[in-house]
Amino acid sequence: MLLYQPQEGYCYNSDSVFLYDFIDSFNPKGRVLDVGAGCGIVGLLVARDNPKVKLEAVEKQEAFVEYATINSRVNKIDYKIHKNDFVELDENIKYDYIISNPPFYYDKVSVSKNEMLFNARYNINLPLRAFFKKVSRVLNPRSHFIFCYDASQFGLICAELDRVKLRVVDVRFVHPKVDRGASLVMLHVRNGSSSLMKVHKPLISFDGSEFSEEAKRIYKKASTQSIKCHL
């Protein structure tokens, strides 16, 4: 998949690629909404590999709307993108899957002065409580919410999901190396589920200075080629 990205500012990383693979493992179908689409990588990869997906996205930054639109056209994937803040999205429209690599850097850390990076990285732009409340309102009954987040906030994530009656049914932690703590957590959440949480084996990103065998497999499966450019 060919993906155009900004010459400067936020670009996708392994979080998006690993999340795509995690989402793909659930064989999504139906109406899918990619929240905070950026250049479109997660949603477009999911739609490429799951022909029963009807893909939509919401992105509030004009530049990323343009990049995502171009990337959908270049890769011949049907795409409807809403230029909007997710929390302001029309609640009369319901989805079977909501997927997202949202901004999750804690808002008390040093904040980037680059506007694109600031919007893409820091959770002050999409606080957990507002995020999950909106998700609960635009999901169809017994539907799916799959996303990734900072692993250190896992407890808070579960507490906030419980507030809106969303249940974590699958979770996988991502560790930089086998002897390091988790840096990322990927979650599959459902409404109307009574299932207990399934904790999957951890994903280890690196073996020494190289990607692990699983990370290599995921990158090969994604098969992305990135071009940085100005629009």
Stretch 21-33: mean pLDDT, rounded? 98
As a whole-number percent, the residues of the chain with pLDDT over 90 amount to 86
Tens-place pLDDT, residues 199-220: 999 999 999 999 999 999 999 9
What pLDDT score does 118 carry? 44
Is residue 119 over pLDDT 50? Answer: no
Is residue 106 over pLDDT 80? Answer: no
What pLDDT score does 147 carry? 98
Stretch 11-37: mean pLDDT, rounded? 97
Domains in the chain (CATH in brackets) are 2-156+225-229 (3.40.50.150)
Stretch 155-159: mean pLDDT, rounded? 96
What pLDDT score does 11 carry? 87
Is residue 112 over pLDDT 60? Answer: no
pTM: 0.91
The CA distances from residue 88 to 131, 134, 143, in Å, are: 11, 9, 21
